[in-house]
Amino acid sequence: MPLKNKKIVIPEGFVFSSAKAGIKVSETDDMGLIFCPSGAIASGVFTKNKVKAAPVVDAQRKLRRTGRIYAIVANSGCANACTGIQGMDDLKRITDSVASKLGVSEKQVIMASTGIIGKRLPVRKMLKQIDRLVIELGRASPVDFARAIMTTDRFPKVVSKRVKVAGSYGSILGIAKGAGMIFPNMATMLCFILTDIPIEKDAMKRILLQSVEETFNCITVDNDMSTNDTVLLLSSCRSWGRPVSLKDRTLSAVQDVITEVMDSLARMIVSDAEGASKTIEVILRGAGSVSEAKKAARAVAGSLLVKTAIYGADPNWGRIMAALGGSGIRLEQEKVHIKINGIRIVKNGIATPMLPKAKEKMKNSKHVIIEIELMQDGYTAKALGCDLTEEYVRFNAHYTT
Amino acid sequence: MPLKNKKIVIPEGFVFSSAKAGIKVSETDDMGLIFCPSGAIASGVFTKNKVKAAPVVDAQRKLRRTGRIYAIVANSGCANACTGIQGMDDLKRITDSVASKLGVSEKQVIMASTGIIGKRLPVRKMLKQIDRLVIELGRASPVDFARAIMTTDRFPKVVSKRVKVAGSYGSILGIAKGAGMIFPNMATMLCFILTDIPIEKDAMKRILLQSVEETFNCITVDNDMSTNDTVLLLSSCRSWGRPVSLKDRTLSAVQDVITEVMDSLARMIVSDAEGASKTIEVILRGAGSVSEAKKAARAVAGSLLVKTAIYGADPNWGRIMAALGGSGIRLEQEKVHIKINGIRIVKNGIATPMLPKAKEKMKNSKHVIIEIELMQDGYTAKALGCDLTEEYVRFNAHYTT
């Protein structure tokens, strides 16, 4: 759902700006800057695609070498992917300029890009905007920044939370971008989670990995992995209190809130998927292992035949069964139970007389929940997706190289 | 392409009939019978989906126990899948009736069904037609039989070849059914390959497995595996000559012709895919292993973003690169070369200036060939698919349970 004028909480120690460099044809901003004057403890998760965009390669390298990041410069309109050595040079010219204007080391400035693959960044145009981005730091809101990194998104994605951890208050702010091409192990998706809660580096890594696994890695829109996916977690460590460590009792509390923020962003991304009319949530229970549970949930949420059936408000349990059976997991057909939006449509592998009722319910729902019980063992997984519409096809057939 | 009034050669020892039982709403035949009075040596390959339709379970069991099959009774309109024990009983009532009317054992009559999942066979209606099917044996052509097993197919799929093996003539006839839901390891696809060339059981198994692997297992339409896929190879052994054995020099010659027949059928299925406007052939070379070659070829042919790009006649090399990178195989971006319909669009991982020319060529082609060279090692694979259109979505959103 688009933002509902909720008040956004900004964690202490972060400022934002945005500008229009003309990377995109449209009249909107296409560059954004996040600055943390005190330097932020940072950790990242990146696409598993073997074809990685220049900014992904660069950010991975920088995060391995330094634990502290001062700035993130982001752009939409151009992914800087499949651009070879030139792409790395283009990136460095921009991060060099940002770093020198902010008075920090280039090694502590991360770039994130999204947009068309295979085109070089319009470096000259972009360099012209960097003065402005630096001067105007603090004038833009997180929503302005979120708008500047939108590509096919229909709305900016920002979530924030104020929490009390171990007696003192802290804030978490999440900004994401993403609409199409979303698959487990992420997809054209950028996400920045900023907090002022002090967290030790090791604890941060653990929190980030687990939260991503439970949220963004459950999304499947069109089964393709992007070259640019990036999730960064940054802490300015500016709120009171001892840093959260791996041994700390507060670790799981902080992780829960961060997971909650990411879950909201993941759901926003799915609901904004190109041409989607309904979102799909598959809750799979009773699988023989964690990996089987995930595999099966994703197979159902990612099946084109299931996706088109849901678009047609058709409780097509046969397609769900076929997708389960085709996923390669252990199952016994006669032990499978399926509910759609709370209505049991399959009992012991066979349809119930409730199909017409389920159809009625699906017609009137924007969010279709498919609950599957396999009765193999106790493992559970979730997958988020959306239906497949004519609009998706039109859109992707004409969004060009 | 639909049949072009080519003369069809019928192998000796097989007769056909077809009838309208009213399983489907349409006014066309929906049952067919193939009879081999002398009994045929038979072998089968079936869906790997864990959810298997009753006829698949039954046929696998029968082929394990007997090497000789007298009849295949097939129907469209109802897959007899997800029908539990009742589905097995329904099937047996039909094969019992066919067997007794033909004077053969029920254990040597195989049934093949295709159509809607989760509905029971209308047994009474079907039993009424069996007399007629038996009496009219010999009156129908293979094309009539092919029409009777069509579901969403737009045209019947029949291919035949007359060949000279070890000095004597023999014939091969292939009949297939399939349009949507096609993925490696097959999909709602029935295929019957009939021959009069004598082949030993072991040799037959080998020929069938290898031919299927090189043809039907290269097809990907929508990444879903069906519950009913069946490929049967039957020989009446009626042409002259010594039976082809595993050690025989003629084995590979026979296999080549059977592969050729299956390849033609596979291409017909792809060109008939629901709502497809173009077919796609991915030829992947230079992979690090056979399995990586297959994986990568299928990932490209199955990528929704590649499929929609091809529909839009867009040589979107970035999406091809992303699909390759996302497939999990070993690759080095800067060693990748890509051609579309003979035009080199990517050299060393970067776009060439030939993109506009490739676009022109794609606009005017019904068949788009994507050649990819990975330069890892010498392994090659092929994948066949089709583009993704609005029509596909409309179709699958409204073809119901």
Å between B102 CA and nearest CA of chain A: 34
Residue reference for tokens 């929704």: B304
For A87-115, how does the pLDDT look when each residue is reduced to its tens digit (9 = 90+)? 999 999 999 999 999 999 999 999 999 98
User: So what's the pLDDT on residue B129?
Assistant: 97
Question: Looking at the annotation, which residues of A are catalytic?
Answer: 188
Q: What is the DSSP string of A350-379?
A: EE-TTHHHHHHHHHT-SEEEEEEE--SSSE
Cross-chain residue pair B318–A401, CB shorter than 8 Å:
yes
User: So what's the pLDDT on residue B115?
Assistant: 87
Å between A260 CA and nearest CA of chain B: 28
Q: Which residues in chain A have Cβ-Cβ distances shorter than 8 Å to B321? A: 51, 81-82, 117-118, 227
Nearest Cα neighbor of A9 from A141, A150, A105 is A141
Nearest Cα neighbor of A325 from B77, B187, B398, B61 is B187
Q: Which residues in chain B have Cβ-Cβ distances shorter than 8 Å to A311? A: 393, 397
d(CA B80, CA B87): 6
Structure tokens at A295: 């595999």
Cα→Cα distances A178→A218, A255, A378, B313, Å: 14, 23, 33, 25
Residue reference for tokens 């059928």: B265
Number of other residues whose CB lies within 10 A of the CB of residue A363: 10
Burial of B167 (0-12, 13-18, 19+ CB in 10 A): exposed
Mapped onto helix, strand or coil, the DSSP state of residue A192 is strand
Who among A82, A329, A394 is closest to B333 (CB)? A82
Cα→Cα distances A351→A286, A306, A315, Å: 19, 16, 10
Element (H, E) at A395: helix A390-398
Residues 6+ apart with CB under 8 A from A123: A90, A93, A94
Q: From A345, which residue of chain B is nearest by alpha-carbon distance?
A: B118
Element (H, E) at A70: strand A68-75
Structure tokens at B279: 């077919």
Cα→Cα distances B15→B89, B133, B141, B144, B321, Å: 27, 11, 8, 12, 50
Q: Which residues in chain B have Cβ-Cβ distances shorter than 8 Å to A312? A: 396-398, 400
User: So what's the pLDDT on residue A260?
Assistant: 96
Q: From B334, which residue of chain A is nearest by alpha-carbon distance?
A: A84
Cross-chain residue pair B304–A222, CB shorter than 8 Å:
yes
Percent of chain A with pLDDT over 70: 93
User: So what's the pLDDT on residue B227?
Assistant: 83
Å between B351 CA and nearest CA of chain A: 7
Cross-chain residue pair A329–B118, CB shorter than 8 Å:
no
d(CA A28, CA B190): 53
Cα→Cα distances B30→B89, B91, B174, B303, Å: 20, 15, 19, 34
Phi, psi (degrees; rounded to nearest 5) at B278: -140, 150
Cross-chain residue pair B351–A118, CB shorter than 8 Å:
yes
Rg of chain A over all Cα atoms, to the nearest angstrom: 22
Q: From B184, which residue of chain A is nearest by alpha-carbon distance?
A: A326
Interface test with B, best of A51, A338, A368, A376 (most B CBs within 10 A): A51
Interface test with A, best of B50, B226, B340, B374 (most A CBs within 10 A): B50
d(CA A147, CA A32): 9
For A74-90, how does the pLDDT look when each residue is reduced to its tens digit (9 = 90+)? 999 999 998 989 999 99
d(CA B56, CA B80): 10
Q: Which residues in chain A have Cβ-Cβ distances shorter than 8 Å to B349? A: 82, 84
Element (H, E) at A281: strand A279-287
Cross-chain residue pair A311–B397, CB shorter than 8 Å:
yes
Element (H, E) at A314: none
**Residue A337 half-sphere exposure toward CB, CA atoms < 13 A:** 9
Cross-chain residue pair A321–B351, CB shorter than 8 Å:
no
Nearest Cα neighbor of A56 from A33, A78, A88 is A88
For A41-72, how does the pLDDT look when each residue is reduced to its tens digit (9 = 90+)? 999 999 888 889 999 999 999 999 987 999 99
Who among A51, A348, A396 is closest to B325 (CB)? A51
Rg of chain B over all Cα atoms, to the nearest angstrom: 22
Q: Say whether B279 is catalytic.
A: no
Cα→Cα distances A194→A67, A107, A236, A355, B7, Å: 15, 19, 8, 45, 71
Low-confidence ranges of chain B (pLDDT < 70): 1-6, 179-187, 220-225, 395-396, 398-401
Q: From B183, which residue of chain A is nearest by alpha-carbon distance?
A: A326
Cross-chain residue pair B224–A303, CB shorter than 8 Å:
yes
Q: Which residues in chain B have Cβ-Cβ distances shorter than 8 Å to A392? A: 308, 393
* A3 band by pLDDT with thresholds 50, 70 and 90: very low
d(CA A383, CA A184): 9
Mapped onto helix, strand or coil, the DSSP state of residue B225 is coil
Q: Which residues in chain B have Cβ-Cβ distances shorter than 8 Å to A355? A: 401
- Of B188, B195, B215, B259, the catalytic one is B188
User: So what's the pLDDT on residue B223?
Assistant: 55
Cross-chain residue pair B401–A329, CB shorter than 8 Å:
no
Q: Which residues in chain A have Cβ-Cβ distances shorter than 8 Å to B398? A: 312, 314
Residues 6+ apart with CB under 8 A from A374: A284, A285, A286, A287, A288, A296, A324, A329, A331, A335, A336
d(CA B391, CA A100): 54
- Edge-to-edge strand list for the sheet holding A367-373: A350-351, A343-347, A337-340, A367-373, A279-287, A379-386
Structure tokens at B16: 């056909």
Cross-chain residue pair A331–B394, CB shorter than 8 Å:
no
Q: Which residues in chain B have Cβ-Cβ distances shorter than 8 Å to A323? A: 224
Burial of A401 (0-12, 13-18, 19+ CB in 10 A): middle
Strand positions, DSSP E, B90-223: 109-113, 157-165, 168-177, 190-195
Number of other residues whose CB lies within 10 A of the CB of residue A27: 8
* A276 DSSP assignment: -
Instruction: Tell how far CA B134 is from the center of its chain.
Output: 27
Number of other residues whose CB lies within 10 A of the CB of residue B385: 32
Cross-chain residue pair A83–B323, CB shorter than 8 Å:
no
d(CA B83, CA A346): 11
d(CA A334, CA B322): 39
Å between B321 CA and nearest CA of chain A: 7
Q: Which residues in chain A have Cβ-Cβ distances shorter than 8 Å to B298? A: none
Cross-chain residue pair A401–B50, CB shorter than 8 Å:
no
Cross-chain residue pair A117–B83, CB shorter than 8 Å:
no
Cross-chain residue pair A308–B81, CB shorter than 8 Å:
no
Give the pLDDT mean for A386-390: 86
Å between A363 CA and nearest CA of chain B: 13
Which of the two residues, A307 and A98, has the higher pLDDT score?
Answer: A98
Å between B42 CA and nearest CA of chain A: 26
For A176-225, how does the pLDDT look when each residue is reduced to its tens digit (9 = 90+)? 998 654 443 334 789 999 999 999 999 999 999 999 998 988 886 555 56
**Whether B191 contacts B262, CB under 8 Å:** yes
